[in-house]
Amino acid sequence: MVDFMSPQQRSRAMSHVRSNNTRIEQLVGTRLHKRGLRYKKCVLVLPGRPDIVFPKYKAAIFIHGCFWHGHFACKRSHLPESNRNFWEKKISATAKRDGEKIVQLRNNGWRVAIVWQCCLSNNDSITNTIDILVEWIMHGNDRLEIPEFL
């Protein structure tokens, strides 16, 4: 499939993609807050700058966009045909860095959850995801990945 944007248009569009406080981060944060859980956002001193942090429970949540973080089991992570080599390298490096930061957090005693964008596509899946997160925050293991367990 040929890209419908020129390289300049594509570059401009990609430069406007936010890296924090995204719509899906706001959605998860709002739902967790409504459940009575208080958190901190984008804690800069922690490895990987988790999107949502619960210091009281020593729990950190990363909310990953399927394309940007390489959720290859998902249709949202389809790589563009144009400049494919660039995107493969970029997303591979991001996934590798994600893994390293998670190991650092876990070595420092933090529990880590990853929430993929694709599990936040409709109200039922959002509710299921929040239910799983609340249970994990309060009583969960060292690691959780959603939608892996949905």
The predicted pLDDT at position 149 comes to 46
Which pTM was predicted?
0.84
> What is the rounded average pLDDT of the residues 1-17?
65
- In the sheet where 52-54 sits, what is the strand order? 40-41, 52-54, 59-64, 111-116, 143-146
| CATH code linked to domain 17-146 | 3.40.960.10
Average pLDDT on 100-121 reads: 95
User: In the predicted model, what is the mean pLDDT of residues 75-94?
Assistant: 84
Residue 34 CA to its chain's centroid (Å): 20
